[in-house]
Structure formats: C-alpha cells, structure tokens
Amino acid sequence: MKSSKPIRILIIEDNPEDEALLLRQIRKAQLDGQVRVIADGNPALNYLTDAKYRCEDLVAVFLKLNLPTGGGGIKLLEAIRGADRLKHLPVIVMTSSNAREELDKCRALGVSAYVSKPVSFSAFVKAVADSFHFRRDSISAAEMVPDMD
C-alpha cells in the first residue's frame, strides 16, 4: 500500500548504486515514506513544474549534477531557479566532480548544499539540515505558520 504522506524529498539520480546508497541514508533518517526518485532531467522538470504536485513544499531536492540527458543538472537547476514557485526550493547538488566552473555555477544558482558522492550519512544529515534552514530563511513568517486543520 502506498503511503499517503506527501513527497518531501525528490532524488534526481540516474545511477542505481548511488540511488540505493542515498535511499539507505534516507531510511536511516526515517524519511523513506516521503521520497520520489526520478532518473532523468526531463521527467524531473516535468514533475517539478506540474502544478498538481506541491513541489514548493519539498524539504530537499537531491540533484545529480552530471545527468546525461535533459541538458544535465545545471540546466535543470536553472529551470528550477527560473520558476517562480520553485525558485526558493532547497537543492542539494551531488557530484563526484570538483570542477571549479561547476561549483561557481551552482553557487550562482543558489544551491543550498553541495555534497561529494558517494553521500555519507553525516553529509546527508548536514545537507538536509542546511536545506531546512535554507527553506526557513527564504519564506515569510506567515508561510511558516502550520495549518491547524
């Protein structure tokens, strides 16, 4: 039976081993019922920009920087930052590269965290915590008031 909990974490990763490792970290943090995995940039962008999904409520997006299709992670990140309802979405970039140009571009696009692959549990926890603070700092006080339904 599918969980009725909302999706809070989106993983955009095409490598099955890296996906499995990240999902293990998410299970350790007891967030695995609130995760969606998409392996390609184009379907990820479609998911993020479809109004029927409440993507602006995501706690974090784990984005593989070097996606092979859809223009790669940088293009997807540019699209996220260009969409009004998503521009404050916390994005955690995952990569095994340390290319200065990529780091600079990610910083310019306002990523909330940049972690090296494979993602360790401590790096995962720090990235999610940083993303929570990134999200809190970017929304108004009125938006932070919980629903009392």
pLDDT tens digits, 43-91: 998 999 888 888 888 888 999 988 877 678 889 999 999 988 888 888 9
CATH number of the domain within which 24 lies: 3.40.50.2300
Would you say residue 146 lies in a domain? no
Position 13 confidence tier, pLDDT thresholds 50, 70, 90: very high
Say if strands 9-12 and 35-38 run parallel, antiparallel, or are unpaired. Answer: parallel
Would you say residue 149 lies in a domain? no
Higher-scoring residue by pLDDT: 145, 48: 48
Would you say residue 1 lies in a domain? no
Cα–Cα distance for residue pair 41/111, rounded to 1 Å: 17
| SS3 annotation, 65-80 | CCCCCCCHHHHHHHHH
pLDDT digits (tens, 9 = 90+) for 109-134: 988 887 877 777 777 777 777 666 55
Number of domains in the chain: 1
Which structural domain range is residue 114 located in? 9-139
pLDDT digits (tens, 9 = 90+) for 91-112: 988 887 777 888 888 889 988 8
Share of the chain above pLDDT 70, in %: 81
Would you say residue 53 lies in a domain? yes
Would you say residue 119 lies in a domain? yes
Would you say residue 3 lies in a domain? no
* Joined tokens for residue 63: 């984005």
Residues 6+ apart with CB under 8 A from 31: 8, 9
Cα–Cα distance for residue pair 65/27, rounded to 1 Å: 23
